[in-house]
Amino acid sequence: MAKATRITKLVFLFTSLLFVAACTTGFEDRGNIPLSSFTTAQLEGMGSSPGAPMIIRIFKQDSELEVWKQVKATGKYELFRTYDICAWSGDLGPKFKEGDRQSPEGFYEVTPGHMNPRSNYFLSFNLGFPNKFDRSHGRTGSNIMVHGDCTSRGCYAMTDEQVGEIYALVRESHSGGNRSVQVQVYPFRMTGKNLALNASSPHMAFWKNIKEGYDIFEVSKTKPQWDVCSGDYSFNRSGACGASTLDPAIKAAVMAKQAKDDVAFKEAQADIEQTKLDEAEAEQRRLEAKQAAAERQAAIEQQTSKVTGWFGSLFGGGSDGEQSGQTDPNAPTPPARD
């Protein structure tokens, strides 16, 4: 009996060790989940590869995360896949301080050291907040991630399945010899109309600043090189504040885009103001119609009251004298009583 008990205990101990080993191995291997053959085939089909350079763009208002991969033949980036963001926290605008539960905006570089295969949220990678720009403005915060688990306290949360693929794409890009994967975070797509819709925001100057990097990427489909000059993001300059390093043709195209966006901004502002005027006029007409209806109802009630009074006097069952308590002087005098 004692021998059987010892054997049972040994079997239990051995099974427990196997279970712990399996769990530990699975936990550590999350970061090595391979890309699916389907995803790899899609990358190859667009002329890219898992190890090619990669850019991520995040748009808060649309709750979308885009993965862009560089195509070998042209050296330009093409959109590979768009993912719905499960959750982000705070409002449109940048993050300012630790604990404000605000998801950041700006330009970030994810290096191999930012990868976290042992995340409490399945998998995650750190955006690197605060970056050089954030620090120049005294902004604070830590552990701002793109992670799984679909819940956010200042991060960008995905489903576990999504973050597993995104994490693998970033990891493979690092393995391909790329020092970092750039993450561009915007409040919305930086169109003239969207800026006009948010023209009263205190973040407008910041948004116009990061729009410079957005425009360079939109026009050239190449990676914007960013730094910080006098407290602002600077893009594609020699040193932080030097001359532009953009190809003249690309620079001209960027300026043309910005001029077009400025026109769209002004037109959208005019449309917004006109809409406000139209809505105010419609509200005034509504109030006037309501007042006119009330006056008509009052007039109807007054007329109804007069008609009712006339019919009451006509069919009230007595003469005016009787109603007023007066006696007819021609009426016979009733006989006296004893």
5 band by pLDDT with thresholds 50, 70 and 90: very low
Residue 92: pLDDT band (50, 70, 90) is very high
Cα–Cα distance for residue pair 108/210, rounded to 1 Å: 12
Is 147 among the residues known to form the active site?
yes
Average confidence score pLDDT of the chain: 87
Which distant-in-sequence residues (6+ apart) come within 8 Å of 36 by Cβ? 165
pLDDT of residue 287: 85
114 is catalytic: no
Out of 137, 147, 174, 241, pick the active-site residue.
Answer: 147
Query: What per-residue confidence (pLDDT) applies to 307?
Result: 72
Question: Do you know the residue count of the chain?
Answer: 338
Q: What is the pLDDT of residue 315?
A: 62
Least confident of 23-37, 44-58, 118-132: 23-37
Given 86, 114, 155, 174, the catalytic residue:
155
pLDDT class for 254, splitting at 50, 70, 90? very high
Whether pLDDT at 272 is above 80: yes
pTM attached to this predicted model: 0.78
Q: What average pLDDT does this structure show over 15-20?
A: 34
What is the structure's pLDDT at 331?
57
Q: What angle do CA 190, 196, 202 make, to 5 degrees?
A: 85
Report phi then psi at 235, rounded to 5.
-125, 130
In this predicted model, what pLDDT tens digit does every residue of 280-292 receive, in sequence order?
A: 888 888 888 898 8
Confidence of residue 312 (pLDDT cuts 50, 70, 90): low
Rounded mean pLDDT, 113-130:
95
**pLDDT higher for 303 or 326?**
303
Name the more confident of 315 and 88.
88
Task: Provide the pLDDT confidence category of residue 105 given band limits of 50, 70 and 90.
Answer: very high
